[in-house]
Amino acid sequence: MPKIEVNEELFYSLVGRNWDTRERFETALTCAKAELDAIDAESVPVNERLLKIELNDTNRPDLWGTAGCARQLRVYYGGKRNEYPFFSQKETGKYADDPLIGHRMEAAYTVKVQESVQKVRPFLAGFIVSGKAVTDTSLRDMIQTQEKLAWNFGRKRRTVSMGLYRIAIIQWPIIYKGVDPDSVSFTPLQWDIPLTLREILKQHPKGKEYGFIQEHEPIHPLLVDSKGDILSYPPIINSADLGAVQVGDTDLFIELTGTDIECVTLSASIMACDFADQGYTIEPVNVEYEYDTPHGRKVTTPFYFQEPVFCSLARVEKFLGEKLSADECIAALSKMGVKAEKATAAERGEATVRQGIYAFPPEYRNDFLHAADVVEDVMIGRGLSTFAPTRPSEFTIGRLSPITILSRKVKEILVGMGYQEMVFNYLGSKRDFVDKMLGDGAKIIKITNPMTENYEYVRDSILASLLISESMSGNAIFPHRIFETGKVAYRNPADDHGTSTRQFLGFLTADKDANFNMISAQIQTLFYYLSHEYVVEPSAAPHFIAGRAANVLFKDVKIGIFGEIHPQVLENWGITTPCVAAEIDLDTMVIS
């Protein structure tokens, strides 16, 4: 979970109050789903003392900085919710049937995004900060928020990275373009001689740390002003002159680049709101693209793109176990900084009208993916202690389900066979789950509104997860034997919901001698200790070598597959050692 260090004096000044005991402060932090990890000793001067806070919600990157966390506490405990008039707004209706609303602000500053960068790092957002000098405390906080957003939310700068620049020496407009990494050189931060972009990746500490993002690309992104002076080499390093922000600077340009336009835009919004809350003046920036984007060819940032979410009062009652009025829900949401209105909505395809509320995410949030997220904020805003406890109305005796018993037995057998258990994410990208596995994607489930393209699909097989692990284990001593028992989900028209969720076993061996006979013997060992009979038949699965793969049938039902992984699949993952793998549907074994 993200951890932040905030200056105590700055934090309490932004909240507008402080707490007289540690216990009360820890209780107050629960509204931000945060915990107090530590406080500097009393001997540390108050203007230097740090509060170390751990955030328990990875869906709220707006809380990963001093201003954002303080904002949540200030609003929750009766403080003013700031307005942010510098936002342009998406030109859509508030509700499904409303006419278009919104406005596009015009800015005095422009960044031109050339087509050459489209396939490398295509999206950019930015704004201007002015009005007061940067202090040592505020600069440290800017850098911390920048790093937290880029590292955690931006996936180690892959999806989002950020740069800060001094306006006084920038000649506008700024150009964002793609270049040959051997054709351009500049002096990077913390360096005193110019290097080409490719040399930066090999020699500079930041280049070594983040070079994996760009090193295999033929074209690299570059940010320059109209004179050709270089601001930065996103997402690696700023230049040593235009990109060297110092204490005392009064006018800054903040830019963010990345591969996911919503993540880039949201990160810019978070930073802009944080600066505004600290008393800085925010001016928007026009971003003009030479190609189409989901937000258009001209976007004035900061940009409000979030959609309102409807939540019925019946759903609130169902989730919280207590009937709340629309006014009570709106009051609870206001304590979370969320604006809401009474509204009605019709069920899809039906004439039923539901009474409820429309919640409008704040400019700095985009975590309302479902009505359940609205209910969660209602619950926190109202306060957990306000809900009356109730006794359970039914008495049951808990016991392990058959699939849990089978899964535990399978784990014991695999460990006894020399395998190491792994636990993987259920969500991933189409690139990993389909493209690298040579699949057609016909059965895979796509999430409608993912936070990032890297968690856009639900896995329909454990094999891709095993190969992800193996692709990062090339330096470990062979053989590698890993397994997982976990859930997969896939489209299934025969199911009432159109999808099926199953408990699978997947295991993989990587070794120079790995072959079909080896994995066949391991399948035989597994079923022997399960005391089950099985039959095999040839398989034509594309991610296995033709003629060296077989389906597993249990009571005439296909429940799995095993064989030698296809060389093309191994090459897609960068794996240089032969691999054999198997996958078994444990749920079907229980049902059969």
How far is residue 104 from each of residues 128, 274, 339, measured CA to CA in Å? 17, 22, 21
Cβ partners under 8 Å of residue 388, min gap 6 = 322
Q: Give the angle subtended at the CA of 145 by the CAs of 140 and 147, to the nearest 5°.
A: 95
Q: In what order do the strands lie in the sheet with 480-491?
A: 420-421, 480-491, 499-510, 579-585, 557-565, 544-554, 535-538
Q: pLDDT (tens digit, 9 = 90+) per residue, 423-456?
A: 999 999 999 999 999 999 999 999 987 878 889 9
Domain ranges of the chain: 1-80, 82-304, 309-384, 402-591
CA dist 275 and 68 (Å) reads 10
Between CA 571 and CA 108 the distance in angstroms is 49
Which residues are within 8 A (CB) of 553 and not within 5 positions of it... i.e. 6 or more apart? 534, 535, 536, 537, 559
Say which residue, 96 or 281, is predicted with more confidence. 281
pLDDT of residue 99: 45
Please say if the pLDDT value at position 214 is more than 50.
yes
CA distance 4 to 37: 10
Three-class SS of residue 145? helix
Q: In this predicted structure, what is the pLDDT of residue 92?
A: 57
Cβ–Cβ contacts within 10 Å for residue 319, how many?
16
Q: Provide mean pLDDT across the span 212-226.
A: 93
Q: 3-class SS at 290?
A: coil
Q: What is the CATH topology of the domain spanning 82-304?
A: Phenylalanyl-tRNA Synthetase; Chain B, domain 3 (3.50.40)
pLDDT at 100: 42
* Conformational region of residue 56, where left means phi above 0, alpha means psi within -120 to 50, and beta covers everything else: alpha
Mean per-residue pLDDT for 237-247?
86
DSSP letter string, 370-419 = SHHHHHHHHHHHH-GGGSPP---S--------HHHHHHHHHHHHHHHTT-
Q: How confident is the model at residue 523 (pLDDT cuts 50, 70, 90)?
A: very high
The pLDDT of residue 400 is above 60: yes
* Average pLDDT for 75-97: 78
Average pLDDT for the chain = 90
- Please give the Cα distance from 20 to 466 (Å, whole number): 51
**Contact in structure between 215 and 201 (CB atoms under 8 Å):** yes
Phi then psi for residue 59, to 5 deg, are -90, 0
With a cut of 60, say whether residue 97 has pLDDT above it: no
Q: Tell me, what DSSP letter sits at residue 31?
A: G
What confidence tens digit (pLDDT) does each residue in 525-578 have? 999 999 999 999 999 999 999 999 999 999 999 999 999 999 999 999 999 999
Mean pLDDT of all residues in 24-48: 85
Domains 1-80 and 402-591 belong to one CATH topology: no
Q: Which of helix, strand or coil describes residue 27?
A: helix
What is the C-alpha to C-alpha distance for residues 357 and 436, in angstroms, rounded to an integer?
Answer: 43
**Encoding tokens for residue 560?**
């799995």
Mean per-residue pLDDT for 293-307? Answer: 92
Structure tokens at 509: 């061996």
Residue 378 has pLDDT above 90, yes or no: yes
The answer to whether 461 and 443 are in contact (CB under 8 A) is: no
Q: Is the pLDDT of residue 123 over 80?
A: yes
Residues 6+ apart with CB under 8 A from 171: 225, 226, 227, 229
**According to the model, what pLDDT value does residue 95 have?**
52
Average pLDDT for 316-321: 92
Question: What pLDDT was estimated at residue 96?
Answer: 47
Residue range 309-384 in CATH 3.30.56.10: yes
Sheet holding 445-446, edge to edge: 427-428, 457-458, 445-446
Using the CB atoms, write b or e for 147-172: b if 16+ within 10 Å: ebbbebbbbebbbbbbbbbbbeebee
Q: Which residues of 450-474 are buried (b: 16+ CB within 10 A; e: fewer)?
A: bbbbbebbbbbbbbbbbbbbbeeee
CATH number of 1-80, picked from 3.20.20.80, 3.20.20.140, 3.30.56.10, 3.40.50.1100: 3.30.56.10
Cβ atoms within 10 Å, residue 206: 19
- The per-residue pLDDT for 18 is 86
Q: What is the mean pLDDT of residues 344-361?
A: 72
The pLDDT value recorded for residue 104 is 62
**Multiple choice CATH, 402-591, 3.60.40.10, 3.30.420.40, 3.30.930.10, 3.40.1710.10:** 3.30.930.10
Instruction: Report which of residues 512 and 59 the model is more confident about.
Output: 512
Average pLDDT over residues 272-299: 93
Supply 400's token pair: 């392990």
Supply the pLDDT for residue 101: 45
